[in-house]
Amino acid sequence: MTNAERQSRLRERRKDLHRLNLWISPESAEMLKALCRRYAVTQSEMLERLIRERTAREDDISEP
């Protein structure tokens, strides 16, 4: 398989994802890594989980 074919397959698998490029403090990076190890998930999975949980909590708070 050529590099172009591999790249095309990778792009196809990731077509429904959004790339996020950011800088965080070393302390936060270490905490994220520790959470990932604890729950055996990737950094992407952990960030998505934290965002969903926080959003759900905020939605619960704002409802009467």
Q: What is the pLDDT of residue 57?
A: 87
Domain extent listing, the chain: 29-64
Q: What is the pLDDT of residue 62?
A: 63
Taking alpha carbons only, the member of 56, 32, 55 closest to residue 44 is 32
Q: What is the pLDDT of residue 63?
A: 56
Q: What is the pLDDT of residue 51?
A: 94
Alpha-carbon span 43 to 37, nearest angstrom: 9
Tell me if the pTM is above 0.85: no
Angle at 12 between CA 4 and CA 40, to 5 degrees: 110
Specify whether the CB–CB gap between 42 and 36 falls below 8 A.
yes
Specify whether the CB–CB gap between 62 and 54 falls below 8 A.
no
Tell me the per-residue pLDDT of 5-61, one tens digit each, with 9 for 90 and over.
Answer: 999 999 999 999 999 999 999 999 999 999 999 999 999 999 999 999 999 988 776
Q: What is the pLDDT of residue 60?
A: 72
